[in-house]
Amino acid sequence: MSGGSPRITARDARESGQAAIETALTLPLTMFLILGTIQLGLLLNGRLMAHYAAFRAARAGSVNQGDCSRMTEAAIAALLPSFISYMSSATPGQTPSERYANAFALRRKNRYDARGDSGYTEPIVWILRDRPTIAQVNAVAQNGEDVDFDQFQGDSLRMEVRLIYWFPMKIPFANWVMYQMYRTHFGLGSYTAQNPLMPTQKAAWTGSATLRSELATELTTRGSAGHYAFPIQASYTMRMLTPAKQKFFATQHCQPAPPIAVP
């Protein structure tokens, strides 16, 4: 036998070409399944954290006379681990509590930090106070607050919170596809580009579900800026444990939430 390079037969070339074609056809779908699974897992974690944040916001409002600033800070503090890895991005040598405090300080005003949150700068949460209403607070207020809050009267004021968590989707490719699917599902547009679930087929996705106009506008505005956020809603209710103050109910909902009607 003589040495030298092995001969490449025509059959080898055909099989190599076939393998390359199969890889080209299946790779986009495979990548979407992997990235989509990761993004979906993060979304599920965000949903769990949103429920906890709704509880924390309701409790903060209940024990702080309905103060929106306390409610917002409590919600953001609860949500922080679900969208930022503050343990790995902080200054070396800091304790975990210091790293957490620094990460919270950058976002306590209810805004994502552009440097640490992939360019996102929009509000993190909307906090909607469905109860008590401004009319209820004004009706029971004496000298600016509900002095009989701790007296059982059959209809005590309740802090009823709906929290909208604008969860930032950050997994490349999967974030755009899932945003387009969600947007199309609610009839905010149509999707006719290449179908990532069937690479050889153009998509023709349409939707007929409904989404509140305020949420639809915010979802579209953020998506147009390339910030693919998923609105996760959670709610919690508990009795007021401190007297509701009129000065904290100049508006029904906490800024920057829009004036959505109370159900």
Query: Three-class SS of residue 31?
Result: helix
Q: How far apart are CA 90 and CA 96, in angstroms?
A: 9
The neighbouring-strand residues paired with 162 are 128, 235
pLDDT tens digits for range 82-133: 998 877 655 677 888 888 899 999 999 999 999 888 889 999 999 999 999 9
- What confidence tier does 204 reach under pLDDT thresholds 50, 70, 90? confident
Q: Which residue has the higher pLDDT, 58 or 26?
A: 58
Q: Is residue 47 part of a domain?
A: yes
**What kind and span of H or E run contains 259?**
none
Q: Is the pLDDT of residue 1 over 50?
A: no
Nearest one of 152, 120, 99 to 230, comparing CA atoms: 120
**Residue 92: how many other CB atoms lie within 10 Å:** 5
Q: Is residue 20 part of a domain?
A: yes
pLDDT tens digits for range 131-174: 999 999 998 888 787 777 777 665 678 999 999 999 999 898 88
What is the domain count for the chain? 1
C-alpha angle with apex 160: 159 to 162, nearest 5 degrees? 135
**What kind and span of H or E run contains 96?**
helix 96-105
Q: What's this model's pTM, rounded to 2 decimal places?
A: 0.84
The alpha carbon torsion through 84, 90, 94, 96 (nearest 10 deg) reads: 10
> Which domain range does residue 134 map to?
14-148+158-169+230-249
Q: What tokens appear for 225 in the block?
A: 């800026």
Q: Is residue 213 part of a domain?
A: no
Q: How far apart are CA 40 and CA 163, in angstroms?
A: 20
Q: Is the pLDDT of residue 23 over 80?
A: no
Q: What is the mean pLDDT of the chain?
A: 86
Q: Is residue 125 part of a domain?
A: yes
Residues 6+ apart with CB under 8 A from 218: 166, 231
Instruction: Tell me if 64 sits within 8 A of 75, measured CB to CB.
Output: no
Q: Is residue 197 part of a domain?
A: no
Q: How far apart are CA 97 and CA 167, in angstroms?
A: 24
Q: Is residue 29 part of a domain?
A: yes
Beta strand pairing status for 229-239 and 125-131? unpaired
Q: Is the pLDDT of residue 9 over 70?
A: no
Q: Is residue 193 part of a domain?
A: no
Q: Is residue 218 part of a domain?
A: no
